[in-house]
A and B are shown apart, each in its own frame.
Chain A
Amino acid sequence: MYQEIAWQASLLGVALIAAVFLYVGLRAGNPADFGPIKRRLYAVRTYWFAFLVALGAWLSVETLADLPYSTTHGEAARPAEITTEVTGHQWYWEMDRTAFPAGTEVAFEVTSADVNHGFAIYNDDDRVVAQTQAMPDYTNVLRHTFREPGTYRVLCLEYCGLAHHKMTQEITVTAPDR
């Protein structure tokens, strides 16, 4: 979902800026006195600045409420229903378990035995559904609830050497436990 939002928001923003530059660039051959233009456009800038600040503030409020960090810092309101350990190695994943029921919250305790890796879970449409870094000496806890049964795949999203792109692990998600 966020991929699509990111794409469309970026496309809109880039298109708007491109349109302004194209409009202004194409009209540059039709000169006018700078004084009034400067006064008018710098007056508009105050509103533009206020709009950008308001947009940023609104986005911050909307997006900073639910962050993925609390479990790692021991501040989670409740434990996850399943906890499992994940260790990245050059170039494979060592996982306590690789089958999970859909609809059940899983806490992946992710670390690394050697270099930095990126523990990213892909769904069967090859979209990332969640990720965290696998770091030596540290454990990042990633909480995730699989929504759909199916075959998921872990890919490494931090460059770790020769077989970085081969560092995969299948995860099976079964129908919800009832």
Chain B
Amino acid sequence: MSQPDPYQPDPGIGRSERGVVLAYMATSGAVLLLMMVLGLIMRLDQGELLGMAPDWFYRVLTLHGTGMVGIAGLAGAGIMWYFLRQYVGLSLAVAWANLALFLAGVILIITGIALGGYAGAWTFLYPLPANPMGMWDTGGAASFLVGLLIIGVGFLLLHLDCARAIIARYGSLGRALGWPQLFGRNDGKAPDAAVVASTMVLIVNTLGLVSGAAIVVMSLINLYFPAFQVDPLLAKNLIYFFGHVFINATIYMAVIAVYHLLPRYTGRPWPSSNKAFLGAWTASTVMVIIVYPHHLLMDFVQPQWMLVMGQIISYTSGLPVLAVTAYGAIVNLHRAPIRWDLASALLVLSAFGWAAGIIPAMVDATIVVNQVMHNTLWVPGHFHFYLLLGTIAMALGFMAWMVRTYGGARESGLDQLSFWVYAVGGVGFVGMFLIGGREGTPRRFAEHLSGWIPYDRWASLFAALVIAATAVFVVRFFAGLRRAALTEA
């Protein structure tokens, strides 16, 4: 059985298109490394190996969270754009505008944190931005919030452009989700996985971004006119709806790389025109929208039906991953003539990371468990699981494939070592969060009790391993970047 050649350039992706995608991935890679270092600094500080003042700890926390959510979105968008562009006429100008707005927003966010002292976390939970007790000034909070708003506008433009292009080609969002094939006779002609996934993401993220923008604007007004107040429960619902949808959308965008690239490495097709695949994506569209109350399980005043729904939908949300995407990856991989390299290894790792990461997520969404685990380190434990070992692994795998396919990057002896360091370091790192959660360690605490400190120190070691491996991946990407951008495919 001959080995497939996964390094065939994609037709329809010229230098211009490649340029914008590489710019997205390069920005994501560079910021990722910086934000990882901030994460390590926090864990070292909690482990009493660094002596950072609490105001700086919370500033670092705010920057780390905002930066990571931002680049997860940007990397996901880069992957989505690359594959979706092969099916619909996306606008290059809009893609560049999104990146420009992203960078403008980043400058405002860094200004708000570094100069304005803003440390209200990336979730800006109303009414905290307006109640800093002297920790930051109004201008700092406003700079942060306007930065978020600008980044949100950029993503909204991108998703609207996806909607325009998809509707122009397929006629409606329903057709792009494969509804004729899902609900009628399956003629095997449903749109490609990239189209289905992008459509799902544009639907949920448009709703999420508009909700996020609404509460950001309300928070901004409240900053300068304190008499203008928002119902705190409504604010919480809007923020967690936005936050949940946006961070979930990152993985639904990035997973397109797994659907498209893994089959090239195994030489086996992964068709999207089947009812299980299409049904999973349509169900996920609805579930991502309605599952967010699981962030409010300790807000007892929330309508009870929403909280019960939060638990049940959290369980059902796992089904498309465990029975379709991760399962599909397993089927595609089982006894396949796969060509292992850095990219294929990271993509397989990402399917594992996503599937495994939802286990502690579902556990925490169980109300009786949430009552003793909510806002402990269990929470960053589960989301680092499927972000670090899921979304980011997808992005790093895609980046490795890009510079190999277009930049002629060669395999290196470091690849295998750095992959295993990343995988083992990543599992160890999230494991320490989860153990911290079991032990009751609160999340977002500048100082830890002595009993919690050993786990912080182990986490620091694992974080350092992850950073070392990521540095190898990112440096290798930048080394091949210029050639990948300039070469004629």
Contact = CB atoms under 8 A, between A and B. Distances in A.
Given A128-B372, A162-B54, A63 B364 contact: no
Given A68-B371, A138-B301, A165-B446, A53 B233 contact: no
A118 B375 contact: yes
Contacts of A41: 327, 330-331, 334
Contacts of A53: 319
B289 interface: no
Interface in A127-153: 127-133, 135-142
Nearest to B61: A159
Interface string B322-335: 11001100110111
Interface in B338-380: 338, 340, 348, 351-352, 355-356, 359-360, 363-364, 366-369, 371-376, 378
Interface stretch (B180-188, B200-208, B304-312, B407-415): B304-312
B316 interface: yes
A162 B368 CA distance: 30
B442 interface: yes
A133 B370 CA distance: 12
Contact of A137 (B55, B231, B266, B311): B231
Nearest to B268: A34
A31 B337 contact: yes
A139 B301 contact: yes
A60 B318 CA distance: 14
A28 B338 contact: yes
Kindly state the interface size class of chain A when it binds its partner. Answer: 35 or more
Given A3-B373, A60-B315, A64-B367, A135 B299 contact: yes
A6 B364 contact: yes
A128 B301 contact: no
Interface stretch (B82-90, B127-135, B478-486): B127-135
B131 A161 contact: yes
Contacts of A66: 368
A142 B300 contact: yes
Interface string A46-80: 00110011001001100110111100110000000
A25 B332 CA distance: 11
Chain B contact patch, size range = 35 or more
Nearest to B351: A21
Contacts of B125: 115-116, 158-159
A13 B318 CA distance: 12
Interface string B116-143: 0001110001011001111100000000
A115 B340 CA distance: 51
B300 A52 contact: no
A32 B231 CA distance: 60
Interface string A21-51: 1001101111110100110011001001100
B54 to A, nearest CB: 6
A66 B304 CA distance: 12
Nearest to A114: B131
A135 B334 contact: no
A99 interface: no
Contacts of B371: 2, 68, 128, 130-131
B474 to A, nearest CB: 24
Interface of chain A, main secondary structure: mixed
B48 interface: no
A10 interface: yes
Contacts of B368: 2, 63, 66-67
A113 to B, nearest CB: 10
A13 B58 CA distance: 33
A157 B376 CA distance: 7
B363 A20 contact: no
A118 B370 CA distance: 13
Nearest to A130: B371
B308 A67 contact: yes
A14 interface: yes
Contact of B348 (A14, A25, A27): A25
B348 A128 contact: no
Contacts of B322: 48, 52
Nearest to B338: A28
Given A9-B363, A41-B331, A3 B438 contact: yes
B19 interface: no
A139 B232 CA distance: 12
Given A10-B434, A48-B322, A162-B54, 11 more contacts: A3-B437, A10-B360, A21-B330, A48-B323, A64-B367, A120-B375, A122-B440, A139-B301, A160-B128, A161-B58, A166-B447
19 contacts: A6-B360, A17-B359, A27-B335, A28-B334, A31-B335, A52-B319, A52-B323, A56-B315, A63-B368, A64-B308, A64-B367, A67-B304, A67-B368, A72-B300, A115-B127, A133-B298, A136-B232, A137-B233, A162-B133
Interface of B: 1, 54-55, 58, 119-121, 125, 127-128, 131-135, 231-233, 236, 266, 268, 276, 298-301, 304, 307-308, 311-312, 315-316, 318-319, 322-323, 326-327, 330-331, 333-338, 340, 348, 351-352, 355-356, 359-360, 363-364, 366-369, 371-376, 378, 434-435, 437-440, 442-447, 449, 451-452
Interface of A: 2-7, 9-10, 13-14, 17-18, 20-21, 24-25, 27-32, 34, 37-38, 41-42, 45, 48-49, 52-53, 56, 59-60, 63-64, 66-69, 72-73, 90-91, 114-116, 118, 120, 122, 126-133, 135-142, 155-166
